[in-house]
């Protein structure tokens, strides 16, 4: 392991698996502590709302699984921790901080195209989260075919010329995640929120937020203390806890 690898965190490398989040769910009963699970290829990778996640060899697919403290709404804030860690790792690899931005709620953009996605899944009972799995996919070498109405996917290699293996990238991402997670645990969501807003895509600009039942248009003005999207509309500022965001 890298000399910077976070203390007490395990690492599992697999040649091929259906889904790293699915593998995390299968292993939680036997895990002694937090662990990263990386697969060189996923055959059934998933994105938000059950969408398929394309995962050719050379791209990054990994899941961080841990037993977090706190109620579910606080545990869910790790999505912002993961996004900041991912942004930090990508900037470290490329040296191009101005090329990346974070799109609410869970994507990292490169030159305005979708480079990476984050998927949180949890298992719990009695209002507690027993295990949290944070799945992360990054188009290191290959970009999938674009979906209608979605942001154009991009790859790190095509956009920057940077070549890095999934295992090398994990060695940079894992310490970054540990640092941001420690920030959240020690100081609460405030500093994480401010850092996230400093990297947010389209802050102060018009966007469309679509929930299952409704569509809202307004100006993206921030996120609140729960991580909900704040949308300035003609009559009100609305907090939207879950939605798909589209750029005008």
What's the confidence (pLDDT) of residue 34? Answer: 96
Domain for residue 2, yes or no?
no
What's the confidence (pLDDT) of residue 150? Answer: 77
pLDDT band at residue 165 using 50, 70 and 90 as cut-offs: very high
Could you give the CA distance from residue 36 to residue 188 in angstroms, rounded to a whole number? 23
The model's pLDDT over 169-203, given as tens digits with 9 standing for 90+, comes to: 999 999 999 999 999 999 999 999 999 999 999 99
Question: Residue 170 is part of which domain span?
Answer: 10-198
CATH of the domain at 219: 2.30.30
Q: Are residue 45 and residue 135 in the same domain, yes or no?
A: yes
Q: Which position has the higher pLDDT, 31 or 238?
A: 238
Could you give the CA distance from residue 76 to residue 70 in angstroms, rounded to a whole number? 10
Closest CA to 210 of 162, 163, 143, 150: 150
State the total domains in the chain: 2
Q: Are residue 138 and residue 178 in the same domain, yes or no?
A: yes
What's the confidence (pLDDT) of residue 56? Answer: 81
Q: Are residue 47 and residue 97 in the same domain, yes or no?
A: yes
Could you give the CA distance from residue 20 to residue 122 in angstroms, rounded to a whole number? 14
Domain for residue 14, yes or no?
yes
Q: Are residue 192 and residue 214 in the same domain, yes or no?
A: no
């Amino acid at each position: 392991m890298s000399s910077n690898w976070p203390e007490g965190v395990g690492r599992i490398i697999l040649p091929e698996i259906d889904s790293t989040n699915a593998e995390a769910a299968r292993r939680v009963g036997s895990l002694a502590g937090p662990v990263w699970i990386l697969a060189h290829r996923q055959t059934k990778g998933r994105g938000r709302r059950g969408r398929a996640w394309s995962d050719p060899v050379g791209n990054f697919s990994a899941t961080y699984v841990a037993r977090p403290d706190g109620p579910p709404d606080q545990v869910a804030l790790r999505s912002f921790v993961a996004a900041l860690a991912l942004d930090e790792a990508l900037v470290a690899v490329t040296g191009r901080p101005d090329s990346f931005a974070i799109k609410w709620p869970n994507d990292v953009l490169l030159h305005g195209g979708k480079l990476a996605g984050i998927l949180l899944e949890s298992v719990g009972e009695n209002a507690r989260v027993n295990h949290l799995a944070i799945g992360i996919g990054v188009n290191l070498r290959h970009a999938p075919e674009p979906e209608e109405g979605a942001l154009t996917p991009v790859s790190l290699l095509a956009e920057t010329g940077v070549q890095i293996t999934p295992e090398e990238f994990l060695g940079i991402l894992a310490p970054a995640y540990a640092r941001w997670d420690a920030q959240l645990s020690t100081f609460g969501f405030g500093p994480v929120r401010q850092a996230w807003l400093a990297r947010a895509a389209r802050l102060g600009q018009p966007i469309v937020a679509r929930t299952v039942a409704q569509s809202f248009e307004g100006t993206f003005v921030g996120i609140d203390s729960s991580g909900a999207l704040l949308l300035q509309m003609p009559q009100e500022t609305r907090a939207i806890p879950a939605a798909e965001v589209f750029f005008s």
